[in-house]
């Protein structure tokens, strides 16, 4: 068995923290969608001089929509991890109690029948715990992969946002400041979302390190 109560607790707590981080990221991404929509309107008003800016904002809008979708998916995985960790803690507790009873029963030569009756259910509980641990590990890997993919998308959003900022300088003077401000807001928002994703990745890494440390007896 790989996980112990302390590790299940870490996964439960950290997964809940990830869900909170991704909820914040989703709210920011929704603001980016609105900002990119406003930027598109501004670019349209600015006309041909902001044509490049308008094209870039459509990419930003798509990336923001994808970020919202990925946030929901990651949040679902994080909730699953929390639930599985709760089940694992309960199963671990049952396993420990059964092993304790077995150990005490073995001390007496008069409890052989009692010991026999405990073996099968104890093995079943241990098998269930191992199954739950494997399910948690699979979900953690899935969550980490999704977070890494989301980080790549955010890097693209920041690059496109920076390009939009450069494109805003080509617009007519009366539109230039508004376009630049909008582009800056998009870059800032993408950076803020990235920080939430980095925090989430760090939380999962900490939980995995705790698991590895326990498994190797460190």
Residue 15 in domain: yes
Domain that holds residue 200: 5-77+143-215
Q: Per-residue b/e over 91-124, b at no fewer than 16 CB within 10 Å?
A: bbebbeebeeeeeebeeeeebeeeeeebeeebee
The backbone region for 47, taken as left when phi is positive above 0, alpha when psi lies in -120 to 50, beta otherwise, is left
Neighbours of 213 (CB within 10 A): 12
Distances (CA, A) of 212 to 2, 8, 33, 54: 9, 13, 40, 49
Rounded to an integer, what distance in angstroms lies between the CA atom of residue 137 and that of residue 67? 24
Q: What angle do CA 184, 187, 191 make, to 5 degrees?
A: 140
* pLDDT value, residue 189: 86
Residue 86 in domain: no
Rounded to an integer, what distance in angstroms lies between the CA atom of residue 86 and that of residue 61? 38
Residue 206 in domain: yes
Residue 199 in domain: yes
* pLDDT value, residue 2: 40
Strand spans (E) along the chain: none
- What does DSSP assign to residue 216? T
Residues near 105 by Cβ (< 8 Å), separated by ≥ 6?
111, 114, 115, 118
* pLDDT value, residue 171: 76
Which residue stretches of the chain have pLDDT < 70? 1-7, 108-114, 211-218
Neighbours of 205 (CB within 10 A): 12
Residue 64 in domain: yes
Structure tokens at 8: 């299940």
The answer to pTM > 0.85 is no
* pLDDT value, residue 127: 92
Residue 113 in domain: no
Structure tokens at 96: 């420990």
- What does DSSP assign to residue 169? T
Q: Domain holding 25: CATH number?
A: 1.20.120
Contact 116, 106 (CB under 8 A): no
Residue 102 in domain: no
Residue 136 in domain: no
Our count of domains for the chain comes to 1
């Amino acid at each position: 068995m790989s996980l112990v109560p302390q590790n299940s607790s870490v996964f439960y707590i950290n997964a809940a923290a990830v869900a909170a981080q991704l909820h914040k990221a989703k709210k920011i991404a929704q603001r980016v969608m609105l900002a990119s929509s406003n930027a598109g309107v501004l670019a349209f008003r600015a006309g041909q001089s902001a044509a490049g800016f308008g094209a870039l904002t459509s990419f930003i809008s798509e990336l923001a929509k994808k970020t919202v979708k990925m946030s929901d998916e990651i949040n679902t995985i994080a909730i699953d991890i929390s639930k599985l960790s709760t089940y694992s803690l309960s199963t671990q507790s049952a396993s420990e109690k059964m092993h304790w009873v077995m150990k005490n029963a073995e001390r007496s030569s008069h409890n052989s029948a009692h010991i026999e009756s405990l073996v099968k259910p104890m093995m079943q509980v241990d098998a269930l715990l191992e199954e739950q641990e494997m399910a948690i590990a699979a979900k953690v890997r899935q969550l980490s992969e999704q977070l890494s993919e989301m980080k790549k998308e955010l890097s693209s959003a920041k690059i496109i946002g920076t390009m939009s900022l450069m494109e805003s300088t080509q617009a007519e003077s009366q539109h230039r400041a508004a376009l630049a401000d909008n582009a800056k807001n998009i870059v800032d928002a993408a950076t803020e979302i990235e920080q939430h994703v980095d925090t989430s990745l760090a939380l999962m890494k900490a939980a995995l390190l705790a698991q590895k440390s326990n498994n190797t007896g460190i």
